[in-house]
C-alpha cells in the first residue's frame, strides 16, 4: 500500500530530474501545468504507457520513441493509418517557441502535452494537433482532407470497439455492414464545417474549400463527437495490452443491446454500428444506456395492430423504416405511445435519416405535432405519424400496413426535416422499433408481462376502443429476457 501511495510522487520527482538533464526550458512552466491536469493515478498510467513505449530505458525516454515503436505497441488495436496520424499529432507539439516539435521521435514531454490536449483540452488546444493529424504540413487543409480524416476516425473507433470486445451485445451478424455507415457518419460530421465567413457549403464546394485552424476550432467546438472519438482512440488504442479492455471513455458510445434471443439469425437490423452510435448520441442523456427491441416486422409480422401491441406504453423509443428504394429513416418518440386521436409527445422528439445520408432533425417550435397514433376512427387519420399535420406528416405509417408518406416540401414544419423517403408516398419492406433507456415503471429493468401481452393484437384492440386492461396484475415471464447478443 505504501509503495502504491508513494509511486506517483516518486515518479514526479524522477521525471523532474530527467527534464533538468534534458535542458527543457519549460520543465517548470506550461509542461508541468499539462501534467498537473491528471490526478496521480492517471499520471502513473501515462508513465506506464510511455514506459512501455520506451522499454523503460531512461536513454530511450530522453531520446524519444519512433513511429515504428508506437506501431509495435498498438499492434492490431488501431488501423495503421490512424497510428500515423497520432504520431504526427504528437511530434507537432511545440514545447516552447524556440523549441519546435521533433520530426522523427516523440519525447515524453510531447507525449504528455498531446495526451493533455486530447483528453483534457478545449477546442482551442486541440486545433493545432488535429490540423497536423489531418495534414502533417499544417497551414490550411481542404474539406476533402478533413472528410478523409473523419472517415479514418470513425473507422478506427469501430475497429477498436470490435478489437476490445466492447460491442455490448450488438452482434455484427444481426446488423448491416458498417462500411457505408462509416462514410455516412464521416459525411455527417464534416457537414458541420463552416468557412471563415460563416457559410456552410455542400457537395464539391465543401470538399474544395480550405479551412484554417480557426475553422477547425469552430468545428471541434460544435461537433463534440470528434473530440469524443479522439479520446476513445487515445485511451483505448494506447493502453498496454495487459491493462484490459475496459475504459469509461468508450462505455457511452454504444448502448447495451437487449430484447433479442441469442443466436436469433432471422433478425437483421436496419442499422449498423456507426448509425447506432450516432443516434444514441442524439438521445437525451438519460436514455443512452440500453436499447431493447420491441418490434420487428421480420420477427413479429407485417401488421399494424401487432406494431401497436408491441410499442404502446413501453416508454421512449426509436422507430426505423426501410422503403422500397432502400432509404432508411425514422423518428424518436420521447414518450410512450398511446392510441388516441390527439397529438402527444414533447420537444425532445426528432426525425432522422440513416441512408443514403445520416442526419437528425429536431424541434422547430412551429407547432406541437410531435407524435400521433390512432386507429379505428372514421373522422380522424388512422396510423402513426410524426411532425407536420394531418394528411401531411413528416413521417407517416398508415394503418394499412406497408404504406406511408413523408410530405415535407420544402421542410416539415415541426422538425425542419426534408423528405425522408425516396418518394413522397412510399411503401416499406421492413420496420423495427427500439425502446431506449430503462423500462418504464420498473427501475430494476424487469417488466413482467400481463396475460394479454401474449397477444399484442388483442392488447392493441383494447387500447383502440378505450378499454382498460383488467388483468394488469396478472403477469407471465418475459420470453425474450434481457440476454445480449454475443459479439
pLDDT at 32: 80
- Residue 160, C-beta contacts closer than 8 angstroms, at least 6 positions apart: 77, 78, 166, 232, 233, 236, 237, 250
365 domain-assigned? yes
Examine the domain organization and report whether 180 and 238 are in the same domain: yes
Examine the domain organization and report whether 320 and 455 are in the same domain: yes
4 domain-assigned? no
- Structural domain count of the chain: 2
Find residue 292's DSSP bridge partners: 258, 435
pLDDT at 262: 61
1 domain-assigned? no
Domain end marker among 195, 217, 251: 251
Q: What is the mean pLDDT of residues 100-105?
A: 63
At 224, the pLDDT band (50, 70, 90 cuts) reads: very high
pLDDT at 211: 94
Q: Which tens digit of pLDDT belongs to each residue from 344-354?
A: 999 999 999 99
Selected residue with higher pLDDT from 227 and 467: 227
Q: What is the mean pLDDT of residues 419-436?
A: 97
The range of the structural domain enclosing residue 462 comes to: 261-476
288 domain-assigned? yes
Q: What is the mean pLDDT of residues 241-258?
A: 66
224 domain-assigned? yes
* Side-chain half-sphere exposure of 431, counting CA atoms within 13 A: 28
At 459, the pLDDT band (50, 70, 90 cuts) reads: low
pLDDT at 263: 53
Asked if 127 and 213 count as a contact pair (C-beta separation under 8 A), the reply is: yes
Examine the domain organization and report whether 83 and 32 are in the same domain: yes
Examine the domain organization and report whether 208 and 312 are in the same domain: no
Looking at every residue in the chain, the average pLDDT score rounds to: 82
Q: Which tens digit of pLDDT belongs to each residue from 158-211?
A: 999 999 899 999 999 999 999 999 999 999 999 999 988 888 998 899 999 999
pLDDT at 49: 85
Examine the domain organization and report whether 104 and 56 are in the same domain: yes
Q: Which tens digit of pLDDT belongs to each residue from 111-169?
A: 999 999 999 999 999 999 999 999 988 789 999 999 999 999 999 999 999 998 999 99
pLDDT at 86 > cutoff 70 = yes
At 445, the pLDDT band (50, 70, 90 cuts) reads: very low
Question: How far is 129 from 111, CA to CA, in rounded Å?
Answer: 12
- Residue 155, C-beta contacts closer than 8 angstroms, at least 6 positions apart: 79, 182
The CATH code of the domain that includes 229 is 1.10.238.10
Examine the domain organization and report whether 272 and 179 are in the same domain: no
Examine the domain organization and report whether 272 and 198 are in the same domain: no
Tell me the three state secondary structure of residue 270: coil
Domain end marker among 227, 251, 275: 251
Examine the domain organization and report whether 273 and 222 are in the same domain: no
At 249, the pLDDT band (50, 70, 90 cuts) reads: low
pLDDT at 63: 76
Domain end marker among 220, 251, 282: 251
Eight-state DSSP code of residue 334: S
Examine the domain organization and report whether 241 and 319 are in the same domain: no
pLDDT at 447: 46
Examine the domain organization and report whether 104 and 211 are in the same domain: yes
Q: Which tens digit of pLDDT belongs to each residue from 297-333?
A: 999 999 999 999 999 999 999 999 999 999 999 999 9
Tell me the three state secondary structure of residue 251: helix
pLDDT at 276 > cutoff 70 = yes
pLDDT at 367: 95
Eight-state DSSP code of residue 376: S
Q: What is the mean pLDDT of residues 460-485?
A: 44
348 domain-assigned? yes
Asked if 250 and 236 count as a contact pair (C-beta separation under 8 A), the reply is: yes
376 domain-assigned? yes
Selected residue with higher pLDDT from 434 and 469: 434
pLDDT at 62: 60
Selected residue with higher pLDDT from 40 and 456: 40
pLDDT at 424: 97
Examine the domain organization and report whether 164 and 298 are in the same domain: no
Give this prediction's pTM. 0.81
2 domain-assigned? no
pLDDT at 313: 94
Question: How far is 317 from 439, CA to CA, in rounded Å?
Answer: 10
C-alpha cell at 188: 455527417
Share of the chain above pLDDT 70, in %: 78
pLDDT at 477: 39
Q: What is the mean pLDDT of residues 347-365?
A: 97
At 393, the pLDDT band (50, 70, 90 cuts) reads: very high
Examine the domain organization and report whether 141 and 209 are in the same domain: yes
Eight-state DSSP code of residue 482: T
pLDDT at 153: 97
Amino acid at each position: 500500500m505504501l509503495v502504491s501511495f508513494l509511486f506517483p510522487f516518486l515518479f514526479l520527482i524522477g521525471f523532474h530530474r530527467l527534464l533538468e538533464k534534458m535542458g527543457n526550458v519549460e520543465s517548470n512552466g506550461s509542461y508541468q501545468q499539462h501534467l498537473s491536469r491528471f490526478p496521480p493515478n492517471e499520471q502513473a498510467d501515462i508513465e506506464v504507457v510511455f514506459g512501455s513505449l520506451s522499454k523503460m530505458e531512461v536513454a530511450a525516454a530522453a531520446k524519444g520513441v519512433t513511429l515504428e515503436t508506437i506501431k509495435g505497441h498498438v499492434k492490431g488495436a488501431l488501423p495503421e493509418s490512424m497510428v500515423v496520424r497520432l504520431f504526427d499529432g504528437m511530434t507537432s507539439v511545440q514545447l516552447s517557441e524556440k523549441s519546435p516539435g521533433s520530426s522523427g521521435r516523440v519525447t515524453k514531454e510531447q507525449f504528455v502535452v498531446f495526451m493533455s490536449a486530447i483528453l483534457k483540452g478545449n477546442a482551442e488546444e486541440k486545433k493545432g494537433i488535429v490540423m497536423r493529424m489531418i495534414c502533417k504540413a499544417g497551414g490550411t487543409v481542404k474539406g476533402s482532407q478533413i472528410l478523409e480524416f473523419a472517415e479514418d476516425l470513425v473507422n478506427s473507433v469501430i475497429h477498436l470497439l470490435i478489437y476490445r470486445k466492447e460491442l455490448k451485445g450488438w452482434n455484427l451478424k444481426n446488423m448491416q455492414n458498417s462500411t457505408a455507415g462509416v462514410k455516412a457518419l464521416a459525411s455527417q460530421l464534416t457537414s458541420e464545417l463552416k468557412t471563415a465567413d460563416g457559410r456552410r457549403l455542400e457537395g464539391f464546394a465543401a470538399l474544395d474549400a480550405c479551412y484554417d485552424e480557426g475553422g477547425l476550432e469552430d468545428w471541434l467546438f460544435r461537433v463534440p463527437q470528434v473530440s469524443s472519438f479522439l479520446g476513445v482512440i487515445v485511451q483505448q488504442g494506447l493502453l498496454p495490452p495487459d491493462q484490459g479492455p475496459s475504459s469509461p471513455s468508450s462505455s457511452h458510445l454504444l448502448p447495451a443491446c437487449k430484447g433479442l434471443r441469442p443466436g436469433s439469425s432471422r433478425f437483421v437490423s436496419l442499422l449498423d454500428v456507426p448509425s447506432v452510435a450516432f443516434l444514441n448520441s442524439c438521445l437525451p442523456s438519460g436514455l443512452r444506456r440500453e436499447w431493447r427491441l420491441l418490434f420487428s416486422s421480420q420477427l413479429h409480422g407485417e401488421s399494424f395492430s401487432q406494431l401497436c401491441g408491441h410499442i404502446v406504453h413501453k416508454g421512449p423509443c426509436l422507430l426505423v423504416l426501410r422503403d422500397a428504394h432502400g432509404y432508411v429513416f425514422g423518428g424518436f418518440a420521447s414518450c410512450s405511445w398511446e392510441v388516441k386521436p390527439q397529438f402527444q409527445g414533447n420537444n425532445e422528439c426528432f426525425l432522422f435519416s440513416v441512408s443514403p445520408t445520416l442526419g437528425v432533425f429536431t424541434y422547430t417550435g412551429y407547432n406541437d405535432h410531435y407524435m400521433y397514433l390512432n386507429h379505428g376512427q372514421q373522422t380522424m387519420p388512422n396510423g402513426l405519424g410524426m411532425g407536420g399535420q394531418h394528411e401531411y406528416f413528416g413521417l407517416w405509417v398508415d394503418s394499412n400496413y406497408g404504406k406511408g408518406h413523408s410530405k415535407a416540401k420544402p421542410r416539415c414544419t415541426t422538425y425542419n426535416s426534408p423528405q425522408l423517403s425516396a418518394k413522397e408516398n412510399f411503401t416499406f419492406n421492413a420496420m423495427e422499433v427500439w425502446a431506449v433507456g430503462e423500462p418504464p415503471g420498473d427501475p430494476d429493468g424487469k417488466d413482467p408481462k400481463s396475460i394479454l401481452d401474449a397477444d399484442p393484437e388483442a392488447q392493441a384492440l383494447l387500447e383502440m376502443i378505450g378499454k382498460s386492461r383488467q388483468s394488469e396484475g396478472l403477469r407471465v415471464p418475459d420470453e425474450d429476457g434481457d440476454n445480449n447478443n454475443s459479439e
